[in-house]
Amino acid sequence: MSDPREVGQEVDDAMAAIRHDVELQLGVERTTAADVELESIVRFSADLPETLDAGTRARLAEQAERLQPWLQGPFLLGGDLVVGGAWRNDQRWTGLAGHVPDLQGKRALDVGSNAGYDPFMFKLRGAAEVIACEPFEFIRQAQFLETVYRSGVDFRQTAWEQLDPDELGRFDLVHCHGVLYHEPHPSLLLEHLRAMLTDDGTLLFGSMMLADPELSEYARYVPGSYYGDATWWWVPGRLAMRWMLESAGLTVVEEFGVSDGPPGEFRTVNGYFRATRGEPVVPSLRDRHGWTTRPSSS
């Protein structure tokens, strides 16, 4: 059995490394809670206490601080205690909510969950089962929040490459936001997402894209150079992103939620596509090469 002290140190070390990367992007290694009225924050549990005793508040605040940096948010932990974040996920959901299908009794898969805001929302909207996948240590934030909310979301520290419909089944809703431009093999990611969809399922796919309309059909390769992020590989134009989805066997129904992207050496936008499962335009990499994970670099 693992020594809890060793596990705790591993988490501390991993979060310290993430704080270093976040500081390169945001200029700070620890984020502060957004200035939001308590009444407007989504309550991910009906059992959150209206007040917290001093001991409980101090304990929760200490746990949240240990898990810095919080990028997603805001998250209400009870009373007036709020954590997160650099990103205003509640504002993103203002534009996303109307495009999410009816989830009552359905299965939802969230890919690249970070601290879990989106999977918590899917459960709140009635999904019978929500599986949330996050490969990095941000999963610790989601797991901490789940000890507070007890929503029933199944958080897993796993990457999209390990997703297998034969093991997990297929899902009525697959959601993936902010992942594609971190992947050197984006087409394989899209094929994996399609494989996880039921025949009549919905994919909600969000990505940063080039803002310049004259570059819409192009993609810009930016290994390790955009927004101070060494994992940012490239940025597609909006039309190029649509073509990629269609080539992977996804039928684009609509594009929505376009807003300004993060600051960098060229302008980007953030936007969503809603798509359904169709037929691939080109033979699948999975079929041609038997790849169920990313191809070897050797």
The 8 Å CB, 24+ separation contacts for 56-59 are 57/81
Q: What are the backbone dihedrals phi and psi of residue 87, each rounded to the nearest 5 degrees, phi first?
A: -105, 140
- Which pLDDT tens digit goes with each residue over 168-191? 999 999 999 999 999 999 999 999
- Which pLDDT tens digit goes with each residue over 239-284? 999 999 999 999 999 999 999 998 888 999 999 999 999 987 666 6
**C-alpha distances in angstroms, 130 versus 43, 56, 127, 283?**
17, 28, 7, 30
Q: pTM of the predicted model, to two decimals?
A: 0.88
Using the predicted structure, report yes or no on whether residue 224 has a pLDDT greater than 90.
no
Res 231: pLDDT:
84
- Which pLDDT tens digit goes with each residue over 89-112? 999 999 999 999 999 999 999 999
Task: Classify the phi-psi angles of 181: left when phi > 0, otherwise alpha if psi is within -120 to 50, otherwise beta.
Answer: alpha
The domains of the chain, with CATH numbers, are: 4-83 (no CATH), 89-289 (3.40.50.150)
Q: How many residues does the chain have?
A: 298
The 8 Å CB, 24+ separation contacts for 164-170 are 164/292, 165/195, 165/196, 168/109, 168/131, 168/196, 169/107, 170/107, 170/195, 170/196, 170/197, 170/198, 170/201
**C-alpha distances in angstroms, 111 versus 90, 127, 130?**
18, 16, 11
